[in-house]
Chains A and B, each alone.
Chain A
């Protein structure tokens, strides 16, 4: 199954499709008429200078901000304007740029919380003195233990998330996202603050999950990483999508070089 893929040639099958998405904050056009599609089962990177609008775009897609204009389609549904929990339950899961953990919950509880369709989260079930949710909780616990192992977090299992380092929190975020069994994950700089060895392991993990069919949209500033792991790269600058294509196409795009270096490159067309 670990065949290299080339989705640029296969039949297009977009899992996420955004059209003309725009968002202003006062005078700032944080996202300006952005359109692109992410193909199912790919690892696509979203790059751009600081302030390009990447995080805002994530917020618009996942319901944390309302777009002024435009539409978001996920897995055949129009999810524009849906609430964050609705979107998450559809299988479109995000992590946050600044790792945000539930400080007073343990790492293990952070993971358990993320399991979906929990019977015990219904008040009626929770009120029953005999925990009818126990068998489900047990199954979820097993999966959580597996993920802790996978992300090298087992030794922190019972630690409160608030006591972790920034890099450790990033790992918890990612493990927690996986606990939700998503079909697509938006990762906002998941490797920021994580040491190089661990970054490599994280990347391996992400690529392996991609090979199992999970779709990723990755915001990342490390160009080496982006060029190495992504099948497609989307470039934003000042709120606009200025380029999109394979890593090599994007690398040689004059508009991209201009956006990154701030110099004008002579265009041939």
Chain B
């Protein structure tokens, strides 16, 4: 056999994909880069909405976006687990909880710089990921789901019952930094808020300040996940997601790669917990119920697991729908909807209504767009062939 002639990438076969003509595209694997357009568009949309809506409504929309962005960060972390590596993590909230508690306690108990505390919180969460992963990632995927959900619940219950320990293992000085047990931790946001005020003096809305902070975090994470996704590391994870045996037969250290993905997703997830804590200036154990994890799951699936921007889009959509439910009592009070019994949509039913809506959304997504808004239909069809 003579040495093969150089081959043009477009000789026959299926049409070349987007960007396949550029020399870079021949080297770099094909990765979803639509986020670079979608994310600025979403930010612009929010600014426009804020400006066209009357005052209080605009403020409300931004507060919804703050919550949505917090879920977006959580979903971006989960996307590394499930979207990239296929890991069924049903206890994602544990990473948020650990990130939030570590940060809140370091700031309130030791007066640490908020950003240093945040970083430590994320590192602690990824170490937790390594520990949990070390004994659960060798299990079959369905067992992983059970172990993670159990770990998250155990952690929550431990924190709930741990208020009385109040020991400081770092100094032994007797200064107490307990988790606060059932009472939670509060008053740790002031440093963060004054940081926002000094860096964003021209933004006089606190909701906007929080949102801008979250948006910066999201931008960094989007860039990071995109960088990872297009790297050979990301490709190896995709291979594991497809068929772990094949990846192993090709010499990929599958366990190590899954462990790394678990830690990276946990690191990202911690920031969602931190954002949540800073937003409320208060956390307690019951913030981190399993339903929190499920909301993050739905956000990710709705937007498109395995895409770069899907988790953000899904989280924002989900939060918008959720927030609209809050207006149901007002809507029902209007003459047009007088036929809706008031008891059905009274404000104390909103939580139940949101739960029902969550179920309905899951069904709608699974039936009509199982690959998510940004996911590819082809990917879904090829799964498991």
Q: Which residues of B contact A123 (CB under 8 A)?
A: 233, 260, 264
The answer to whether A131 and B4 have CB atoms under 8 Å apart is no
The CA of A103 and the CA of B144, in the complex, are separated in Å by 24
A62 in contact (CB, < 8 A):
yes
Q: How large is the interface on B (under 10, 10 to 19, 20 to 34, 35 or more residues)?
A: 35 or more
Q: Which residues of A contact B30 (CB under 8 A)?
A: 106, 109
Indicate whether B245 reaches chain A with its CB closer than 8 angstroms: yes
A149 within 8 A of B: yes
**Is B232 touching A121 in the complex (CB atoms < 8 A)?**
yes
- CB contact list, B6-37 vs A, under 8 A: 6-7, 9, 11-14, 16-17, 20, 26-30
Residues of B within 8 A of A106 (CB): 30
**When each residue 134-176 of chain A gets 1 if its CB lies under 8 Å from chain B and 0 otherwise, what string results?**
1001100100011011100011111110110000000000001
Q: Are B228 and A105 touching (Cβ within 8 A)? A: no
B242-258 contact mask (Cβ, 8 Å, vs A): 1 or 0: 11011111111110010
Do A104 and B379 touch across chains, with their CB atoms under 8 A apart?
Answer: yes
> Which residues in window 230-268 of A have CB below 8 A to B?
none
**Which residues of chain B from 347 to 385 have a CB within 8 Å of any chain A CB?**
378-379, 381-385
Residues of A within 8 Å of B239, CB to CB, are 102, 105, 113
Q: Does A89 make an interface contact (CB < 8 A)?
A: yes
| Chain B residues within an 8 Å CB radius of A53 | none
List, in ascending order, chain A residues with CB within 8 A of B379's CB.
Answer: 104
**A126 interface residue per 8 A CB criterion:** yes
What's the minimum C-beta distance from B97 to chain A, rounded to whole angstroms? 24
Interface size on A, residues (CB 8 A): 57
| Chain A residue at minimal CB-CB distance from B236 | A121
Distance between Cα atoms of A125 and B4 in the complex (Å): 32
Contact A149/B249 with A113-B239, A120-B231 known, Cβ cut-off 8 Å: no
Query: Main SS of the interface on chain A?
Result: helix
Q: Is the CB of A127 within 8 A of B232?
A: no
Nearest CB on A from B252, distance (A) = 6
CB distance from B232 to the nearest CB of A (A): 3
In-complex Cβ contact of A109 among B6, B29, B260 (8 A): B29
B230: which A residues are within 8 A, CB to CB? Answer: 131
Given A123-B233, A162-B385: A100 and B227 within 8 A (CB)? no
* Residue pair B231, A88 in contact (C-beta under 8 Å): no
Q: Count A/B pairs, Cβ under 8 Å.
A: 151
**Chain A nearest Cβ from B139, distance in angstroms:** 16
Q: Is A190 an interface residue (CB 8 A)?
A: no
Q: Bound complex: CA of A103 vs CA of B385, how far in Å? A: 6
Whether B224 is near chain A, meaning CB under 8 Å from some CB there, is yes
Per the bound structure, the CA–CA distance linking A211 and B144 in Å amounts to 47
Q: Considering the chains assembled together, what is the distance between the CA atoms of A125 and B238 in angstroms?
A: 17
Q: How far is the CA of A122 from the CA of B257 in the complex (A)?
A: 9
Most chain-A Cβ atoms within 10 A of its Cβ — which of B16, B247, B250? B250
In the complex, are the beta carbons of A138 and B27 less than 8 A apart?
yes
CB distance from B376 to the nearest CB of A (A): 9
Point out the residues of chain A lying under 8 angstroms from B231, CB to CB: 120-121, 125-126, 131, 133
- Is A36 located at the chain interface by the 8 A CB criterion? no
Report the minimum CB–CB distance from B11 to chain A (whole Å): 6
Give the CA-CA distance A101 to B223 in the complex, in Å. 29
With both chains docked as a complex, state the minimum distance between the C-beta of A94 and any C-beta of chain B, in angstroms. 6
Given A109-B235, A163-B382: A126 touches B227 (CB 8 Å cut-off): yes
The residues of B that contact A83 with a CB separation of less than 8 Å are 248
**Interface residue B216 (Cβ < 8 Å from any Cβ of A):** no
Contacts of A18 in B (CB 8 A): none
Q: How far is the CA of A125 from the CA of B234 in the complex (A)?
A: 11
Return chain A residues, CB-CB under 8 Å to B52.
Answer: none
Determine the chain B residues whose CB is within 8 A of the CB of A134 once the complex forms: 27-28
Interface residues of A (CB under 8 A from B): 62, 64, 83-85, 88-89, 93-94, 96, 100-106, 109, 112-114, 116, 118-123, 125-129, 131, 133-134, 137-138, 141, 145-146, 148-150, 154-160, 162-163, 176, 180, 205, 208
7 residue pairs from A and B, CB less than 8 Å apart: A85-B247, A100-B246, A102-B242, A102-B247, A133-B232, A154-B7, A154-B13
List 7 extra interface pairs beyond A83-B248, A129-B227, A158-B13, CB under 8 A.
Answer: A62-B249, A84-B248, A88-B248, A103-B383, A109-B235, A125-B233, A159-B13
